[in-house]
Amino acid sequence: MPELPEVEVVRRELSKLVGGRIVRLVSSDKRIVKKRIHIVGRKIAGVERRGKWLRIPLDEGFVFAHLGMTGDWTVHDVDEAALPFERVRVDVARGRTMASARYTDPRRFGRFITTDKDLPEWNALGPDPFLEKMDLDRLARIMKKRRSSVKETLMDQSVLAGIGNILATEALFLARIDPRTPSNRANARDLRAIEKGIRTMIEKMLEYDEGKRARAPFRIYGQRTCPRCDAKLRHVVLGGRSSIYCPRCQKRHSRK
DNA sequence: CGGCATGTTGCGCA
DNA sequence: TTGCGCAACATGCC
């Protein structure tokens, strides 16, 4: 499920619960769930997102949630049976109505943390490109210091929060930049193109994830040939993640 | 059976 | 202190 757009859709879904009171928590998976405080009886004050993390402020304390690789939250009726791969269930009373939030996660890389203070992981996140305008000067400063690829730098959550493998792949395709380009070789024009690519992809992926778009907006992720020039797409591994690009359309901008 | 997967962390090393 | 490269985590799917 999870890159910035998917997590944003989950945030909107869970926002239905704001104002409600937690009346029951079902969770047995010790890998996913870390309980530092008791949350039954607490009231849900909001649902926030930064990058791929969710923060749910309560009247006392917080819940932090991460979807890992295969996690998802959905809101159901309380009488609904457990879903396949259901790992956490939070029942919420709001007036006379009840709702039941279910967390499913086959691969169990996700997290559900109850705590009375902010998480270091949350505080370490860089700016979220959907919540705030991208600071290209800051990005340029960071890029200049690194020699790993632009794609790896974009996916570093302390650089920009929320960019995952697909978003980075597709944004770089739109920007016509080779993902292997060393970060310190990216110039201001490249960064402007990348910013635009990221913005465009977030919008399209959001529409898709909200069901307003029938087909996934991916141009090269999972494809074999370039939709622009018909060249055979190429695979490389960057930072341990598989990456795809068009060797004809995507260039390394190695000059200053 | 082998290989791959929208993510993060921890460890050794420079 | 910061950056880099990689294995590990756990499980489903093709």
What 8-state DSSP symbol labels residue A75?
A: E
Instruction: Tell me, yes or no, if A151 is annotated catalytic.
Output: no
Is the C-beta of residue A129 closer than 7 Å to nucleic acid chain B? no
Lookup: nucleotide whose C1' is closest to A66 CA: B7
Question: Against a cut of 0.85, is the pTM above it?
Answer: yes
Residue A254, pLDDT score: 52
Q: Give the C-alpha separation, A134 to A182, whole Å.
A: 20
Q: Give the per-residue pLDDT at A188.
A: 94
Spatial distance between the Cα atoms of A42 and A44, rounded to a whole number of angstroms: 7
Report the alpha-carbon distance of residue A254 to residue A256 in Å, rounded: 7
Active site residue A2: yes
The residue that minimises its CA distance to C1' of B5 is: A69
- For position A215, what pLDDT does the model report? 87
Q: How many CB atoms within 10 Å of residue A144? A: 12
Residue A214: per-residue pLDDT: 85
pLDDT means over runs of 10, chain A (256 residues):
93 97 95 95 98 97 96 96 96 96 95 94 94 94 91 94 95 96 93 96 94 91 94 92 94 64
Query: Can A86 be counted among the known catalytic residues?
Result: no
Interatomic CA distance for residues A103 and A82, integer angstroms: 10
Indicate the DSSP class of residue A218: -
For A248: left if phi > 0, alpha if psi spans -120 to 50, otherwise beta; the answer is alpha
Nucleotide nearest to A69 (CA to C1'): B7
